[in-house]
Amino acid sequence: MANLKRLIFPLIILLALFACKGKPEAEEQPQQPETYQETPAEEVKEELPIESTKAKPTTLQSYEYNWSKSDDMPDVVIIIDDFGNSAGQLLDDFGDLPSEFVFAILPDLAHTKTAANVATRKGHEVIIHIPMEAENSKISPGEKYISKNMDEEQVKAVLDDFVKQLPMAIAANNHMGSATTANLETMNKVLSHLKKKGLFFIDSATTAKSAVYTAARQQDVFTTKRDIFLDVPDMSDKSLAKKIQDLGKYKGRKEPIIIITHCHDRAKLEGLQKFVTQIKAMGINVVSLRDAFSKAIS
Sheet holding 102-105, edge to edge: 223-225, 200-203, 171-176, 126-132, 102-105, 76-83, 257-262, 228-229
- Can you give the pLDDT at residue 14? 46
Note whether residue 194 is domain-resident.
yes
CA distance 184 to 172: 17
CA 104, 109, 113 angle in degrees (round to 5)?
65
Note whether residue 62 is domain-resident.
no
- Can you give the pLDDT at residue 26? 31
Note whether residue 8 is domain-resident.
no
3-state SS, the chain, equals CHHHHHHHHHHHHHHHHHHHHCCCHHHHCCCCCCCCCCCCHHHHHHHCCCCCCCCCCCHHHHCCCCCCCCCCCCCEEEEEEEECCCCCHHHHHHHCCCCCCEEEECCCCCCHHHHHHHHHHCCCCEEEEEEECCCCCCCCCCCCCECCCCCHHHHHHHHHHHHHHCCCCCEEEEEECCCCCCCHHHHHHHHHHHHHCCCEEEECCCCCCCCHHHHHHHHCCCEEECCEECCCCCCCHHHHHHHHHHHHHHCCCCCCEEEEEECCCHHHHHHHHHHHHHHHHCCCCECCHHHHCHHHHC
Quote the crossing angle between the two packed helices 266-281 and 237-246, to the nearest 10°.
40
- Can you give the pLDDT at residue 122? 98
Tens of pLDDT, residues 34-50: 222 212 222 222 233 33
CA distance 255 to 201: 16
- Can you give the pLDDT at residue 56? 57
- Can you give the pLDDT at residue 88? 96
Note whether residue 171 is domain-resident.
yes
Q: Which domain holds residue 192?
A: 77-297
Contacts with 295 (C-beta within 8 Å, 6 or more apart), sequence order: none
Note whether residue 24 is domain-resident.
no
- Can you give the pLDDT at residue 159? 98
Note whether residue 94 is domain-resident.
yes
- Can you give the pLDDT at residue 57? 66
Q: What is the distance of C-alpha 137 from the center of its chain?
A: 21
Note whether residue 11 is domain-resident.
no
Note whether residue 28 is domain-resident.
no
Question: Which region, left, alpha or beta, applies to residue 31 given φ > 0 means left and ψ of -120 to 50 means alpha?
Answer: beta
- How many domains are contained in the chain? 1
Tens of pLDDT, residues 167-218: 999 999 999 999 999 999 999 999 999 999 999 999 999 999 999 999 999 9
Residues of the chain with pLDDT under 70: 1-57, 298
CATH code of the domain covering residue 251: 3.20.20.370
